[in-house]
Amino acid sequence: MEEKKVALITGATRGIGKEIAFELALNNYSIAINYRNYSKELETLKSDIEAIGSKCGLVQGDVSSFNECKNMVEDTIEAFGKIDVLVNNAGITKDGLIMRMKEEDFTSVIDINLVGTFNMTRNTISYMLKQKSGRIINISSVVGVAGNAGQTNYAASKAGIIGFTKSLAKEVASRNILVNAIAPGFIATDMTNVLSDNVKEEIFKQIPLKRMGTPKEIAKVVKFLCSDDSSYITGQVIHVDGGMVM
């Protein structure tokens, strides 16, 4: 029987990350789920993934801490022996116009979204370099491409992820490690549930497909980017946004 591949997914307790974990489990991956705070729901999530027939490990840590990322990666290696796929998904927003944005609102978004992506990648890459294979998928945003008023912090973090992705793709291509980013548009999760109906209506006007995307629609693209079907794709930003940004 073919050995299962191992995927480590950050921020996989809910939303897009959780759906990515399920999608990869359905596709025969062993899953390491990163979480920040322990909750009973985590055990349910773990047993739901095990019910699919995949192994599931829970690795605790805040992605903005380099040392906690080091521990998460080491715990995953200890549990599963390797990491084939890293999905840097954990992210936050702290929106506000620049005149009202506190320094902490800017730095915390950069620290989690962008520095977190570096922290996880830096600690994982040596294992991938040694095994001469790997896939890294970074979750950016259309806001990192097109910008958005009230999100200077978030846009800077997500644009940074795009530059990071392209540079790393060039650095590690010779070792058969493929690095890509996904730029989701407006996806139905806790992150967007907080928006008022008026704001949602305004956003819909900018989406040719006239609806929000689902976490599943992002997870399916992650699955593709992990698969042999995407073996000639690296350094790319795949928009999954209903045509919002072209």
Ligand X SMILES: NC(=O)c1ccc[n+]([C@@H]2O[C@H](COP(=O)([O-])OP(=O)(O)OC[C@H]3O[C@@H](n4cnc5c(N)ncnc54)[C@H](OP(=O)(O)O)[C@@H]3O)[C@@H](O)[C@H]2O)c1
Residues in CB range of 215: below 8 A, 6 or more apart: 15, 16, 18, 19, 20, 187, 188, 189
CA distances from 56 to 21, 72, 80 (A): 9, 14, 10
Given the complex with ligand X, which of 116 and 134 has the nearer CB atom?
Answer: 116
Distance CA 148, CA 176 (A): 35
Amino acid at 35: Y
Closer residue to ligand X in complex, CB, 192/206: 192
Question: Got the DSSP string for 158-214?
Answer: HHHHHHHHHHHHHHHGGGTEEEEEEEE-SB-SHHHHTS-HHHHHHHHHT-TT-S-B-
Which of residues 118 and 133 has its CB atom nearest to ligand X in the complex?
118
Smallest gap from Cβ 86 to ligand X, in A, equals: 14
Q: Provide, rounded to whole angstroms, the least separation between the CB of residue 52 and ligand X.
A: 19
- From 35, 38, 154, 232, active-site residue: 154
- Closest distance of CB 1 from ligand X, Å: 32
Name the minimum Å distance from CB 31 to ligand X. Answer: 14
Separation between Cα atoms, residue 37 and residue 27, nearest integer Å: 27
Is 154 one of the annotated active-site residues of the chain?
A: yes
Are the C-beta atoms of 43 and 57 separated by less than 8 Å?
no
Residue with smaller CB distance to ligand X, 14 or 55: 14
Contact residues for ligand X, defined by CB under 6 A? 10-11, 13-17, 34, 36-37, 62-64, 89-92, 112, 139, 141, 184, 186-187, 189-192
**Residues designated catalytic:** 154
